[in-house]
Structure 1
């Protein structure tokens, strides 16, 4: 089998010099997560890498077309189109393209003090299901954005911009549904429907039973599903949306705290203030005063 590490027609590749990496490590804005190497290998026939001791960085491989294989330990992972895989740092591995149907991959080596936070998508196959709202083009454009800016040299501005883009790129893989949300519109998702109902009724003192009834579930089942999907209990989420609206009024109107409380369905302004302070960690009065300092 012919083996090539790089050198594919149409490829793009940037390897950030070690001296520049040392500068990045001293920059508090970007030392949490940064690119060390990034590239695009189209139709990468005979692409092959074998690292018996792994490398210091994590490696993300995103396959657009064709096939390839990633081996970690004794386990082989077939990488088909619309799959991505993150190889953990310091992990021995081998990967290679299929000879008959070679993969087309975007890839990035990344490191930093916070790079381990992406463990949720590390060490296993991740599927990006094709969809009319997949935003595949936007994701690949993020790779290109980083590549182009780094290709213009390593000024402080270029490094900061490119590595801040890396956060957005990684988020597009870790939070696929959220990345697609901008194109979803009024898609019939249970959680989105519930949140829209909350937003449409911020002026009402709705209870858990009201939210569950609109969603067509029992209160207990609704609460369980909503909490699993959002990480917050339904009524807590509803109150967070109300406090978001309260902040808007405090910032842009002369309404009193009692009037804002009433507009948001709170019959007791003192209970509203306690709720606001619990969520915002400051009182409504203190929040409003901060804009006039």
Structure 2
């Protein structure tokens, strides 16, 4: 098992900047890459703000924050990944985009470097087959918000070797996460169980079984969930939820995984949840108000 001493992250969005955040805080140098310089600047501001909250809560010190930020280098090209032991791809949940990223990335990597995907549902074996290193390709699925959520799903593809799995499990622990092994099936463990529940809540809303408040309050009070399913769907992102449901439906072929037509309609409207300011709730008001 090779120890991971330097981490690369592709994608400076919500997940990518969170992964860079925890890696840098753990003492590892990080290369954060995005094709847009503005996205990198926004990511660094987000990381700094999130670390400020950790300082206020006495989770870390101001010195810890300064040292962690100094460990993060940003880039808009793949050239800086040449000395990384692992590169974690945290791009949008689109298989074609991920394949294009791997095609451009792998020529820049060392032969022994590990390539991991933060995909939430796309089969790892299929992604690995699109690279030059199936034995050193693995799924490393973090959860949002990365600095707070303790779980990381570790998903081996058919060709992933033992050394790669051991190195990535050790990395997850160093980042302060709890790794769990998940089989390479659509949705893995968490999304296989969670996303159909969220989809069913949306279907119940469409059929008039209850309105937004009835469904969310019912699940919070009746099932002791900290967030209602529609509130959680907004938090996850309705476009992400739709992508996962499509992967489940196509990969497993069972009609129970069919995305709700109402979910598809919201995504078509650009109502993606919190990140767009509107989903099943309108986030321009305080507190947010249901849109149905």
The TM-score by the shorter chain falls in which range?
Answer: under 0.3
Q: TM-score, normalised by structure 2?
A: 0.26
Larger Rg, first or second structure (1 or 2): 1
Structure 1-normalised TM-score?
Answer: 0.26
Q: Which has the higher strand share?
A: 1
